[in-house]
Amino acid sequence: MEILDLNKILIFMFFVIPGFISLKVYAVLIPSVNKTSSEQVIDAVAYSCINYAVWGLPFFYFYTNGYVDSESIIFYVYGFFLLFVFPSVNPGCLILLRKWDLVAKRLPHPTGKPWDYFFSLRLNCWVVVTLNDGSKIGGAYRGDAFASSAPEPEQIYLSEHWVVNGDGGFERSREDTLGILILSSDIRTVEFFKMTPTA
């Protein structure tokens, strides 16, 4: 019974942990909607298999041809990389691949929402937010400004709150302001303007 339990633990380690690491790293890099536990286990097993297909086959070749044996330090170091390091690197490689023009034309963009895409660029810019009642709020998205990302609802914090004139231009910075927080339920549109280096 103990041997059976040990085998289950080893199977879990080899076919769930690498994929689980990849899923968590991917979720940090590309925010997405949370899945159920059963869906995550299936995805983890799939990612583990992909990890072994990409990084395990070269190791298997060298091992079966006698270039590396199970007593070698290389065997254990590569095993550690196969279980923990490569699964951490895979999501970044996948994201770069999906953003490559040749691949991007055939696959959907890895970032699900335009909101997340724009703010992931981390551009300094002027922002005019039109609210549901038609009024406008302007400010600078720079410094300590922040925008939420999926799966959280869209919210934006402008570190500088400016007075918007009748033409939609920025008149002056509001006095003694620490910025403004705008909730998605109040937003109709968000418009962005280039910010000159001296602004």
pLDDT, one tens digit per residue, over 18-37 is 999 999 998 888 776 666 77
> Which pLDDT belongs to residue 33?
60
Q: How many CA atoms lie within 13 A of 2 on its CB side?
A: 0
> Which pLDDT belongs to residue 199?
57
What mean pLDDT is reported for the chain? 86
Please tell me the CATH code under which domain 114-194 is placed.
2.30.30.100
Confidence of residue 48 (pLDDT cuts 50, 70, 90): very high
Confidence of residue 2 (pLDDT cuts 50, 70, 90): low
> Which pLDDT belongs to residue 1?
46
Encode pLDDT of 78-120 as tens digits. Answer: 889 999 999 999 999 988 888 788 877 787 777 778 898 899 8
Residues of the chain with CATH 2.30.30.100: 114-194
> Rounded to two decimals, what is the model's pTM?
0.65
Residue 72 has pLDDT above 50, yes or no: yes
Q: What b/e string do you get for 135-157 counting C-beta neighbours within 10 Å, with b at 16 or more? A: eebbbbbbeebebbbbeeebbbb
